[in-house]
Amino acid sequence: MHATRILAALATASMIGGAALAAEAPVGASSCSGCHAANPNVGTPVPPLAGRPAAEIASQMIAFKSGQRAGTIMDRIAKGFSDEEIQAIAAWYSSQK
């Protein structure tokens, strides 16, 4: 499974210093940048994701996906990701500082 390989690559990269994490985003992560600013100092109602705890990002995405959390567009976007892709995206954004 593609997402499993992404998670394995993320784990390996984090053990060797995390340099590969910043270089290559997992599949689907680019769809987040349309609304979530890369710069945490940009004032926007949509919170930046870089550096947030992976568990927080993943739990919010899962809540949108399941309908537990209402959204204007995030609920529809989250439904397009598998749980493995959500975990990979959350781990990658968490590693971005």
Dihedral in degrees, nearest 10, Cα atoms 65, 43, 19, 14 = -40
Dihedral in degrees, nearest 10, Cα atoms 38, 40, 42, 48 = 60
Say whether pTM exceeds 0.75. Answer: no
2-95 falls under which CATH superfamily?
Cytochrome c-like domain (1.10.760.10)
Chain segment 27-51, per-residue pLDDT in tens: 899 989 889 988 777 788 899 999 9
Mean pLDDT of successive 10-residue segments in the chain (97 residues)? Answer: 47 43 78 86 87 96 96 93 96 93
